[in-house]
Amino acid sequence: MEAVHQILDGDVSFFPGNSAALATGWLDHPDRYLGDWLDETEKSLPRRHRRTLLLGMGGSSASARFYADWRVEGTLRVLDTTHPDSVAEENFSYTQVVASSKSGSTVETQTLLAYALAHGLDPRDLVVVTDPGTSLGELGRSLGALVVEGDPKTGGRFSALSPFGLVPALYAGWTPDELRDELAPCYLSDDLVAGALHEADRLIDASHDGWGLFPLGADPIVSGGALWLEQLIAETTGKDTRGFIPVQRGPVKAYRPSEIMHYQLVAALVAYRLGVDPFSQPDVEATKSQVFSLLAGPLDWIGAPYDPADLHHDLESADHRALQAFAPVSAAGHLSHLRQQLDVTYGTTTANVGPRYLHSTGQLHKGGPRSVVGLQIIVRPRSERRRIEGRAYSFHDLHLAQAIGDYRAMRQAGRAVYQIVVDDLMEAWTVLGL
């Protein structure tokens, strides 16, 4: 129980690695953001329109979905894709837009914002959420937009109780008082930390050889809470060939924002028990570097060749199958059904949409347990190719480069991965013989 006292005393030196001192600001977020800050921020937000669209990825978007799930108003939507068809369907006029990125350099946020500004977004309706000193913040100020700064001592997946989660929550329809009531259990206490440590120990006891399954009570393809938790567990624990695989299993559960601090502690403590740095993501950059290299040359929507016999052998023998769909976000329902069928046919299968998963389970796929098979399904766009304003490439190029880049990064990490290009997800059933 020594870890309990250390956390409560603000001593994070026991965590493996050297990131903790600069990445544990989240332990203080309830005290920092649920008081006057919340009221003052709520009053400062522009609200010329009822509809709000958040542009972001990973920790800058998953928590927004989480909060939005608990409001029936439906005033907040999240655009966390680069698929050309999904981008082309959006209307950026008469819309509040929140552009969210901790680093300010997230390519998806930058390109989506550039596209939005060229297709109807009035800068008066823009709010930027980013860490201090970023290029995104500078752009926002130059446009006259409201810029809300986050905590630089917190990684994206641990930022749900900071401006990256709370600003979208306010736009989703939560009032400051409702948020304070909901998030009251998130203040650090003996019981909170001890409960998280108990759950972490239980998970470790059920694991073997440095890896295990983390049961999700909902489908992360459609549940904001499960999506947020999937990233938290996968990216925090999945490195150094160890980690927990979040997979939909067991009793159905509706995750509440009141559980955010509990699960943040669980994730960090599981990583501690595994002996990995909870606050690093060493394999995420591998895909990013591939993407920018690919954007410098021509790209073809033809897929990588493979032997169907090898594919089915690997699917049958793997401990974990990762279905990675570079498809329109509207295909989420089809993707969920395909995952379920693969789960029944072959065994434990996870799934999510690319490039969303690159900022989440992508770390686990490349840095976690080696017994994973990536099944990448790329859906050809139907929309017209248009160059992104201020860029030499289109969303067609970017989306395909992200798919191919992760395919290459997985292969370089020694993971089995297959790539299939189709016109729609239904075609994938036939290709896979399901």
Residues 264 and 290 in one domain: no
In terms of domains, do 169 and 242 share one? no
The predicted model gives 229-237 an average pLDDT of 98
CATH number at residue 176: 3.40.50.10490
The answer to whether position 348 is within a domain reads: yes
Quick check: 72 pLDDT over 90?
Answer: no
Range with lowest mean pLDDT among 7-16, 62-71, 246-255, 356-365: 7-16
Question: Of the given ranges (156-165, 295-304, 398-407), which has the lowest mean pLDDT?
Answer: 295-304
Residue 5 lies in a domain: no
Q: Is residue 3 assigned to a domain?
A: no
381's CB contacts (< 8 A; 6+ apart) are 83, 84, 85, 395, 396, 399
224: confidence class by pLDDT, cuts 50, 70, 90: very high
User: Does 178 lie in the same domain as 77?
Assistant: yes
pLDDT category, 74, cuts 50, 70, 90? confident
Confirm whether 29 is domain-assigned.
yes
State which of 183, 200, 235 marks the end of a domain.
Answer: 183
Mean pLDDT, rounded, for 107-117: 98
The arithmetic mean of pLDDT across residues 338-360, rounded, is: 96
Question: Does the reported pTM lie above 0.75?
Answer: yes
My answer on whether 55 and 152 are in the same domain is yes
The three-state DSSP-derived secondary structure of 176-225 is: HHHHHHHHHHHCCCHHHHHHHHHHHHHHHHCCECCEEEEEECCCCCCCHH
In this prediction, residue 8 carries a pLDDT of: 84
Burial class (CB in 10 A: 0-12, 13-18, 19+), 8: middle
Q: Are residues 397 and 332 in the same domain?
A: yes
Judged by phi (left if over 0) then psi (alpha if -120 to 50, else beta), residue 303 lies in left
> What domain range is 371 assigned to?
284-431
73 and 217 in one domain?
no
Mean pLDDT, rounded, for 239-260: 96
Do 243 and 318 lie in one domain? The reply is: no
Overall average pLDDT of the 376-394 stretch: 96
Residue pair 15/278 in contact (Cβ under 8 Å)? The answer is yes
- Predicted local distance difference test score (pLDDT) of residue 4: 77
| pLDDT (tens digit per residue) in 159-178 | 999 999 999 999 999 999 99
- Give the total number of structural domains in the chain: 3
Kindly state whether residue 16 falls inside one of the protein's structural domains.
yes
236 and 138 housed in the same domain: no
Does 250 fall in a domain? Answer: yes
Residue 244 lies inside a defined structural domain of this protein? yes
Q: Is residue 113 part of a domain?
A: yes
**pLDDT tier, 1 (very low <50, low <70, confident <90, very high otherwise):** low
Task: Report the pLDDT averaged over residues 229-241.
Answer: 98
pLDDT of 51 > 80? The answer is: yes
Q: Domain ends where: 224, 249, 274? A: 274
Pair (83, 219) in one structural domain: no
pLDDT of 3 higher than 90 = no
Predicted local confidence at residue 11, as pLDDT: 87
Contact in structure between 212 and 289 (CB atoms under 8 Å): no
- At which of 183, 200, 231 does a domain end? 183
Q: Looking at the structure, tell me whether residues 146 and 23 fall in a common domain.
A: yes
